[in-house]
């Protein structure tokens, strides 16, 4: 399929789900691209995977009662983020240990809840690996509204989040409220993950959060440039991934992740080649 044919399919009224999938994929990629910069800067890539597990019980409850999956995931993710922020203030336990305890427990709870619903296997597969079909119009508004709220919060807290990411003790000495800033970052990561679940799936969502930011980090040492490049890389990866998956009937989530990974590997190889060819 040529790009022109893909564009023609996007404009086909009978394939309305396709442009909805593209819109959500691009929006999710842009938001995750920005949030991922803070995650990479802080060296907390584990939290992205953990949050994806934490939203599971909320999604499971929403599925069982016939509610909105995104809202259910947000509720569960935010609750778990609060618990992690509270328990992480105890310096006897490292942050990753607390995250591991609560997020794995949340995922286990989700499995127990959804196992009680008859015929859940198909919907569970869509949740785990993403799906381009059946995206309701209301989810477009939820993703757009949530995305704008995330960007607004990041803009307002940018300096503080960067400070605690680089040096927490200095941040405390400056009088910054580290606990509340930790909580804000956890919640923002949770929201970014939840709005990406339908496009990329629970299993692969970490790639949307980390890979574009890591690719941008290979290109520049300047945080401002990194935050501009990362969402651009994520959005382009979503577009190309959806095009490839639609053209060759590949799974959308997996294809987007592979496109993003190919971009990361290409950037890494070019950087290594450039470094080896430059004079010592």
Q: Give the range among 30-34, 43-47, 176-180, 221-225 with minimum mean pLDDT.
A: 43-47
Model pLDDT, residue 237: 92
Model pLDDT, residue 125: 61
pLDDT band at residue 117 using 50, 70 and 90 as cut-offs: low
Q: What residues contact 92, with CB distance under 8 A and at least 6 apart?
A: none
- Mean pLDDT confidence for 251-260: 86
Model pLDDT, residue 91: 61
Q: What residues contact 37, with CB distance under 8 A and at least 6 apart?
A: 213, 216, 223, 226, 227, 230
Q: Which domains does the chain have, with CATH numbers?
A: 3-277 (1.10.3470.10)
- Mean pLDDT confidence for 209-236: 92
Model pLDDT, residue 268: 94
Residue 107 contacts residue 232 (beta carbons within 8 Å): no
- Mean pLDDT confidence for 247-270: 90
| Radius of gyration, alpha carbons of the chain | 19
Q: Give the range among 96-105, 237-246, 257-266 with minimum mean pLDDT.
A: 96-105
- Mean pLDDT confidence for 165-175: 83
- Mean pLDDT confidence for 84-108: 74
Tens of pLDDT, residue by residue over 227-238, are: 999 999 999 998
| Range among 11-25, 61-75, 195-209, 256-270 with highest mean pLDDT value | 256-270
Query: What does the DSSP assignment read for the chain?
Result: --HHHHHHHHT-GGGHHHHHHHHHHHHHHHHHHHHHHHHHHHT-HHHHHHHHHHTHHHHHHHHHHT--HHHHHHHHHHHHHHHHHHHTT-TTS-HHHHHHHHHHHHHHHHHHHHHTSTT-HHHHHHHHH--SS---HHHHHHHHHHHHHHHHHHHHHHHHHHHHHH-HHHHHHTT--HHHHHHHHHHHHHHHHHTTHHHH-TTTHHHHHHHHHHHHHHH-S-HHHHHHHHHHHHHHHHHHHHHHHHHHT--HHHHHHHHHHHHHHHHHHHHHHHHHHS--
Cα gap 127→197, rounded to integer Å: 7
CA dist 181 → 36, 83, 90, 159, 165 (Å): 16, 14, 16, 11, 10
Higher pLDDT, 277 or 4: 4
Q: Give the range among 37-41, 83-87, 221-225 with minimum mean pLDDT.
A: 83-87
Model pLDDT, residue 43: 75
* Percent share of the chain, pLDDT over 70: 86
Residue 173 contacts residue 64 (beta carbons within 8 Å): no
Tens of pLDDT, residue by residue over 172-189, are: 888 888 888 888 988 898
Model pLDDT, residue 154: 93
């Amino acid at each position: 399929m040529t790009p022109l044919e893909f564009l023609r399919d996007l404009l086909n009224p009978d394939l309305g789900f396709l442009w909805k999938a593209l819109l959500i994929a691009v929006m999710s990629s842009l938001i995750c691209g920005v949030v991922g910069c803070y995650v990479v800067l802080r060296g907390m890539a584990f939290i992205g995977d953990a949050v994806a597990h934490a939203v599971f019980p909320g999604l499971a409850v929403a599925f069982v009662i016939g509610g909105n999956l995104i809202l259910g995931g947000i509720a569960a993710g935010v609750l778990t983020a609060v618990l992690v922020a509270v328990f992480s203030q105890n310096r006897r336990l490292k942050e990753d240990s607390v995250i591991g305890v609560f997020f794995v427990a949340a995922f286990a709870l989700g499995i127990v809840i959804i196992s009680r619903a008859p015929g859940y296997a198909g919907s569970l597969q869509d949740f785990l690996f993403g799906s381009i079909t059946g995206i309701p119009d209301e989810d477009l508004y939820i993703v757009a509204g949530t995305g704008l709220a995330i960007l607004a919060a990041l803009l307002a807290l940018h300096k503080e989040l960067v400070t605690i990411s680089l040096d927490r003790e200095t941040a405390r000495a400056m009088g910054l409220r580290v606990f509340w800033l930790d909580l804000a970052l956890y919640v923002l990561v949770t929201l970014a993950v939840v709005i990406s679940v339908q496009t990329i799936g629970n299993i692969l969502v970490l790639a949307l959060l980390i890979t574009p930011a890591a690719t941008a980090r290979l290109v520049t040492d300047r945080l401002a440039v990194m935050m501009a490049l990362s969402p651009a890389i994520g959005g382009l990866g979503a577009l190309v991934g959806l095009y490839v998956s639609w053209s060759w009937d590949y799974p959308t989530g997996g294809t987007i992740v592979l496109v993003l990974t190919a971009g990361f590997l290409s950037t890494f190889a070019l950087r290594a080649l450039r470094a080896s060819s430059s004079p010592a």
